[in-house]
Structure formats: C-alpha cells, structure tokens
Amino acid sequence: MNALSPERTGAEAPFYRPVAQEVALFEAAHANGLPLLLKGPTGCGKTRFVEHMAARLNRPLYTVACHDDLSAADLIGRYLLRGGATEWVDGPLTRAVREGAICYLDEVIEARKDVTVVLHPLTDNRRTLMIDRTGEELVAPPAFMLVASYNPGYQNILKRLKPSTRQRFLSITFGFPDAVTETAVVARESGLDAARVVPLVRLAGHIRALSGMDLEEGVSTRLLIYAATLIAGGMPIDRALQAAVIEPLTDEPDVAQALRDVIASVY
C-alpha cells in the first residue's frame, strides 16, 4: 500500500484470527489514546492484525515501512516545488494525525534517530505533533493512534529501541500461532485442505526448534502460506518446500541439507 493513500476501511475487516487477548488490548489502547508496540518475528501476522483492527474500528490506516534512510521529514512532510511555487505537503504521520487515523510504523527500529524526537511528544500525554518547518503544532484527536512494530530477533547493539522510547508504548509480543490456529490460518489463506496443512505446520514446529542454532529465524506463517498455495496449485510438495521454505531461509548448502532432512522426517 502507498503510505500516502490510506487504506480505506468500511465493508469487511481483513481476515484475522486472534491468538490471545490482542484484539481487546488494541481496542483498549485506541479507546484510551495510548500507543501500541508490536514485537515479534517477521511474517507472524502483525501487519494483518493492524489492518484488521483499523477496519474494525473504522479508521483509515497509514502504513509506513521504515528503513534506515527514513527521516522525520518523510513522516511529517516537506515543502515541494510545484508549478514554480513551494507548497507544503503532509507526510503520512501528519495526515494520520489530522484525520484521526491509525498510523502503523512497521520495523520502527530501522528508522533514523530524528524520528524518535518526533514520536516522543506524540506518544505521551501531550499527543502533539510538532511541525517545525511550518511552525504548526497539531494536537492529535482522540481517534488517532500510533502503532509500531519491531523484530527483537534482529536487534543488535547499534539498533535498539531506547528505554525512553519503549516506555511510551503499551507492548505486546507476537509469536507464531499455536498449531491449531496456524493450521486454520494457512488453510484459509492458501485454499489448501486443512488435512494437508497439518504436516506443514508440524514441519514448521521442527524448523522453529532449530532457529537460533543454524537458522537466524524460524519459518514464518507467511512462508507456510506460500508453500501451501503452491501445493494447492498442484506443485509437488518437495518443489514447493524447496522454493517456499528452504531457499528463503538459508544460503548455506549444509543448512539446506539439514532442512531437507527435517522435511524427510515429516513427509
């Protein structure tokens, strides 16, 4: 989605199967004007959860995928030259504040340090966005909510969310769903029969047990959905797992072989 055009809500919320009490927590955070931090590995449903909640609460959603070049100006806005005149153009965060929308900063830890300075007054009881360039000071309406995510697994010394930032957010840890939930999610998203999803989810459990040793991270729900989609389309299981599980997880031939051994023990 383009961060500048909000995902309009309305009709039907995208499918999301709750794993614990996250729906109630999100609703309480929104009702009380509190920001929320989602922690967890990639592909475990954080983005889908936010999309679902935005639709449920009937708020527009601005999603920003943060990266190491993302600056405060990218979020707030900048003067642009248009037809010979300079014109102020709001960034996605400013728009979300003006519209009382939900702003989701995905992988916020990747963003440049000046972003933190902007987030602080917005995430405490001031709920204010300072736009230095125009001198504007926006007070967020009650419906505005800031949601951020990060993957603690990728943390290193250089990239860490400072305690002063972390302690402004309610936080919730996302893990991979339990086997029954994950089977339902993968079957629904891929169209593969649940009975054929069961071994895939079992395989994921074995692979996740290896993570941290040879693998940086276990196989995500997203990759399982890819594998199931290929299998549902008629691809032989070994080819589907090679493309959707082994190759995305590793470049090392010996790790790939270890994964093939795990697959052989399940199928």
Query: Residues interacting with ligand ADP, by CB under 6 A?
Result: 15-17, 19, 42-48, 177, 185, 189, 221-222, 225
In angstroms and rounded to an integer, the radius of gyration of the C-alpha atoms of the chain is: 21
Side chain identity at 219, as an amino acid letter? V
Q: Which is nearer to ligand ADP, 127 or 222 (CB)?
A: 222
What lies within 8 Å, CB to CB, of 252 at 6+ separation is 214
Q: Which is nearer to ligand ADP, 61 or 129 (CB)?
A: 61
Least Å distance between CB 233 and ligand ADP? 16
Please calculate the CA angle 214-37-202 and round it to the nearest 5 degrees: 40
Helix (H), strand (E) at residue 61: strand 61-65
Q: Which is nearer to ligand ADP, 16 or 144 (CB)?
A: 16
Q: Which is nearer to ligand ADP, 43 or 77 (CB)?
A: 43
- Count the residues in the chain: 267
Q: Which is nearer to ligand ADP, 97 or 185 (CB)?
A: 185
Least Å distance between CB 110 and ligand ADP? 13
Least Å distance between CB 53 and ligand ADP? 12
Q: Which is nearer to ligand ADP, 72 or 145 (CB)?
A: 145
Phi-psi region of 86 (alpha: psi -120 to 50; beta: other; left: phi over 0): beta
What lies within 8 Å, CB to CB, of 185 at 6+ separation is 17, 45, 177, 221, 225
Q: Tell me how far apart the alpha carbons of residues 64 and 3 are, in angstroms, rounded to a whole number.
A: 6
Least Å distance between CB 61 and ligand ADP? 13
Residue nearest ligand ADP (C-beta atom): 45
What lies within 8 Å, CB to CB, of 169 at 6+ separation is 34, 35, 36, 37, 123, 148
Least Å distance between CB 137 and ligand ADP? 32
Q: Tell me how far apart the alpha carbons of residues 73 and 66 are, in angstroms, rounded to a whole number.
A: 13
Least Å distance between CB 60 and ligand ADP? 18
